[in-house]
Amino acid sequence: MIIINESPINKLSYEFNYFLKELLNDNNNIIEKYEEKNINNKNCFEIYIKKENTEKYKNDNELFNETFRLNKYININNMILFSPEGKIKKYDSIEEILDEFYYIRIKYYELRKNYLLNKFKNEINIINNKIRFIEMVINNKLNLINENKDFLINKLNKLKFDSYNIFDMDNININEEKSTNNFDYLLNLKKCNKKDIEKLNSEKLLKEKELKILENTDIKKIWIDDLDELEKQLKLFKEFEDKNINGI
């Protein structure tokens, strides 16, 4: 038995089902039967190859793909796409598309890097605030007992602690003026002891290391690393695909 869980581009499941049905009813000598199933909300086909054909299809992936029409050929002589400006444009070659795509993609890698730098800086600043807050509580420089929240907020503002909404960190810019009344990330701390300070310092070192690495990494290197990871995952997928085919 083999499992086909992905049909060619622009071919729907019912079309592939119809093709297999025709193949089965055409006195073929290839398959004995097939079953269409739904696994994790995704259609797949379990195909049972006749024993006399098992080795042939097991050892020849190209023959298998051609026989079951899993290859899709695309005409590249008439490539009309949306340009980066959102206008319809005819491209003369794949290279021309890639050239335009490069400049758009590299711009978004720059935006991504800046976003992550800002995120790391905010996280480090939050840790610094927590450390200072806990130290003040431990050293009795800040009293939390029997004080209402408004009083504490006013006190933290005077002590120049930074206000953060930690549930909306993705939208925080370190250079933007912050709200002066959101100190829940400090006031909700359940513990205030030296062990917590040690743990926060360890977290801070890791964040600073990540920040330093990112600061020294060129956006082109980030892109290349992503492509390397993509290639790795594609190889794993190909191995998985081959294993399914060879498991007839």
Say if residue 25's pLDDT is above 90.
no
Look at the chain and report how many structural domains it folds into. 2
**Is residue 167 in some structural domain?**
yes
Segment 223-246, tens digit of pLDDT: 999 999 999 998 888 777 666 654
User: How many angstroms separate the CA atoms of 215 and 21, rounded?
Assistant: 58
**Is residue 209 in some structural domain?**
yes
Structure confidence at residue 243 (pLDDT): 65
pTM of the model: 0.64
Structure confidence at residue 248 (pLDDT): 46
Segment 66-83, tens digit of pLDDT: 877 777 777 778 889 999
Structure confidence at residue 167 (pLDDT): 55
Structure confidence at residue 241 (pLDDT): 63
Segment 176-195, tens digit of pLDDT: 444 446 899 999 887 788 99
Residue 183 burial (CB count, 10 A): 21
Structure confidence at residue 229 (pLDDT): 96
**Is residue 38 in some structural domain?**
yes
Question: CATH code at 181?
Answer: 1.10.268.10
**Pair 126, 184 in one domain:** yes
Segment 86-133, tens digit of pLDDT: 899 999 998 999 999 999 999 999 999 999 999 999 999 999 999 999
**Pair 153, 53 in one domain:** no
**Pair 115, 205 in one domain:** yes
Structure confidence at residue 170 (pLDDT): 59
Last residue of a domain, one of 52, 74, 96: 74
State the residue range of the domain holding 55: 2-74
Structure confidence at residue 111 (pLDDT): 96
Segment 128-180, tens digit of pLDDT: 999 999 999 999 999 888 889 999 999 999 999 999 876 555 555 544 444 44
Structure confidence at residue 158 (pLDDT): 94
**Is residue 231 in some structural domain?**
no
